[in-house]
Structure 1
Amino acid sequence: MQYPGFAPRDIAGHRRVGSVAARAARVLTRLLARTTVTGRERVPEGPVVFAPYHASMLDPVVVGIAVWRQGRMPHFLAKDSLFTGPLGRLLKAMGQIPVLRASALAGDSLQYGKQALEAGESVVIYPQGTLTKDPELWPQRSKTGAARLAIEAGVPVVPVAHWGLDPILPVGGKVPRPHPFSRVRVSFCEPLAPPVPSVSAGHSGPAQTRRFADRITAAIAAELAELRGVPLPERFRPDLEPQEDV
């Protein structure tokens, strides 16, 4: 599997191809629905890990455009099966990062994500790793990849929530249905600073990483509740605040 480089020349190439793809994607999304983005002022300067809600096959396009409009090239960690054919060539040209699922090399993608962050770029990683299967479309418990990447790179995580795609592409749907007068809302949450690894251990422990991953999930759920105008389920509340590591 070919991984992207993040030298200055590579990044310039990613941005050239990305600008063309972003313009085309914006035309597509405008035909499907109206999109509003809030919370732009919450995104800090410098490299960040964006951790979005994942409930639709369309949301990478919507989230990617929202990140692009921040003046950032979004580098998604995406399943390796997408990196074939014309789409695969486009993803590679934009510096997207393949994830070899169920493989001993699956962790390599985090190392390339770390390289992107060290080069000052922004990485997008879905905490769940797949579409939510929750019947009420709340985020499911996250994997620890986004938390690990942020802790190891020492960069903040910006959770991202969105709502409004279901009328356009319902769960299980294959073909989008235009709803040009409906509204899709994307919201950047307050950034979450990663915990400082234990001095004695020299790295973050599994429990510390797990707590941070749960906090990311809870932040996404809280913002999603605001967008939906419904109460936040109680199961997310204990993880909203940072916990002291002992």
Structure 2
Amino acid sequence: MSIGARLRRWHPRTPPLPQDLADLVRAGDPEWFARELAIAVAPPWWVWTHLLRRFSWVVGIFGRVEVTGSIPEELRRGPLLLAANHIGDFDPFVIAVALHRLGVAPRIMTTGGIISAPVAGALLERTGAIRVERGTELARHAVRVTEVALVHGGHVVAYPEGRVGLAPDFWPERGRTGMARLALGLRVPVIPVSQWGAHEVLQYGNDWGKLRTLLRAVVRRPALRVHVGPPVVFDDLQMGRVGDANRARMRIAAALTRGLRPLRADELDAPAFRDPTRPTTAVAAFPGGIVPDDIP
């Protein structure tokens, strides 16, 4: 076997899969499903926590990471869904560093294309990242892995919008109901993680402009702001009751929008950073960042 083929097949050693979880794996499931289940049930990988502890400063090369808010210790001891607005390809790194400062080693839901990359994708998977194959039948596997991670006390970062937000004014979209259904079904706290600034580090388009914006960020060092708000209240909602999943997703979008307003206080109408490669084909849940007081 060639060196290239070995690199494409290489993965760090995976923890053993408990027998009760092995029963979830069926013939025809992708080969990575069992591996991700085993990682989801295991404690955070020591390499991942070491990187967060010793090398978070690397993210600071590209901007000034500013974190506000907190996560109470009693919540950190149990499972958490951390809902973040998705503003660019660099923001997972900023979120990971910010949450580490607040005592959390996050497992981040990530597109399958990234985790499928040789070596780097394998390492990312081993950190607890959960593969999301959007728009395919394999998407349901991400739900199962996420459920297992949460049942075993994991702290999972997910993007309710399901992609980088494409609203013209950069306010969060209403997103999908997947996270809302998980939260209602498992009764897991949802913590809103609002962020701003990471979109200036890597442009949206996948061309040489990504390198240009990355190098420019080293010089400009934009503010990379993250605010962690209080848990979203779902006490009056129930899984399976008509309309409640939609109410839950709108409450998540409202919490993200409210947390985002102070982070972009000087850019409420439009972002100062212009990215011509970014489409503007979506609609914000709350245009202009204005959230009514009577969200149901």
Partner of 2:65: 35
Partner of 1:95: 128
Partner of 2:241: 205
Query: Take 2:289 and 2:105, find their aligned partners in 1: how far apart are those partners?
Result: 34
Partner of 1:145: 178
CA contact (8 A) 2:132 2:139 kept: yes
Letter of the 1:68 partner, please give it.
H
CA 1:233/1:197 → structure 2, altered by over 3 Å: closer, same or farther?
A: closer
Letter of the 1:215 partner, please give it.
R
CA contact (8 A) 1:48 1:156 kept: yes
CA contact (8 A) 2:81 2:157 kept: yes
Alpha-carbon shift at residue 165 of structure 1 (Å): 2.4
> What is the total number of aligned residue pairs between the two structures?
236
* 1:41-95 residue CA offsets vs partner (Å, 9 max, x unmatched): 4673321100001111100010111122233221112111112211221122112
Alpha-carbon shift at residue 105 of structure 1 (Å): 2.7
Partner of 1:221: 257
Query: Take 2:39 and 2:202, find their aligned partners in 1: how far apart are those partners?
Result: 37
Larger Rg: 2
Alpha-carbon shift at residue 159 of structure 1 (Å): 0.9
SS in 1 for 2:88: coil
Matched-pair identity in %: 29
- Give 1:133-172 correspondences, 5 Å limit: 133-172=166-205
Alpha-carbon shift at residue 34 of structure 1 (Å): 1.3
Query: Take 1:24 and 1:137, find their aligned partners in 2: how far apart are those partners?
Result: 32
CA contact (8 A) 1:117 1:123 kept: yes
Query: Take 2:295 and 2:169, find their aligned partners in 1: how far apart are those partners?
Result: 26
* 1:3-30 residue CA offsets vs partner (Å, 9 max, x unmatched): 323579x624x33121243257523212
Alpha-carbon shift at residue 194 of structure 1 (Å): 3.0
Partner of 2:291: 237
- Name stretches of at least 5 consecutive residues in structure 2 with no aligned partner: 1-29, 270-285
- Give 1:79-90 correspondences, 5 Å limit: 79-84=111-116, 85-90=118-123
CA 1:204/1:95 → structure 2, altered by over 3 Å: closer, same or farther?
A: same
Query: Take 1:207 and 1:65, find their aligned partners in 2: how far apart are those partners?
Result: 35
Partner of 1:76: 108
Question: What value does the CA root-mean-square deviation take over the aligned residues?
Answer: 2.6
CA contact (8 A) 1:163 1:185 kept: yes
SS in 2 for 1:131: coil
1:124 to 145, 152, 157: 157
CA contact (8 A) 2:81 2:156 kept: yes
SS in 1 for 2:79: coil
Alpha-carbon shift at residue 130 of structure 1 (Å): 0.4
Alpha-carbon shift at residue 188 of structure 1 (Å): 0.2
Instruction: Tell whether 2:51 aligns with 1:21.
Output: yes
CA contact (8 A) 1:48 1:123 kept: yes
Alpha-carbon shift at residue 241 of structure 1 (Å): 5.1
Query: Take 1:86 and 1:208, find their aligned partners in 2: how far apart are those partners?
Result: 41
Query: Take 1:103 and 1:27, find their aligned partners in 2: how far apart are those partners?
Result: 37
CA 1:152/1:179 → structure 2, altered by over 3 Å: closer, same or farther?
A: farther
Letter of the 2:187 partner, please give it.
G
CA 1:37/1:235 → structure 2, altered by over 3 Å: closer, same or farther?
A: closer
CA contact (8 A) 1:25 1:61 kept: no
Query: Take 2:258 and 2:187, find their aligned partners in 1: how far apart are those partners?
Result: 24
CA contact (8 A) 1:42 1:189 kept: no
Alpha-carbon shift at residue 142 of structure 1 (Å): 0.6
TM-score (normalised: structure 1):
0.84
Partner of 1:49: 81
SS in 1 for 2:37: coil
Alpha-carbon shift at residue 168 of structure 1 (Å): 2.7
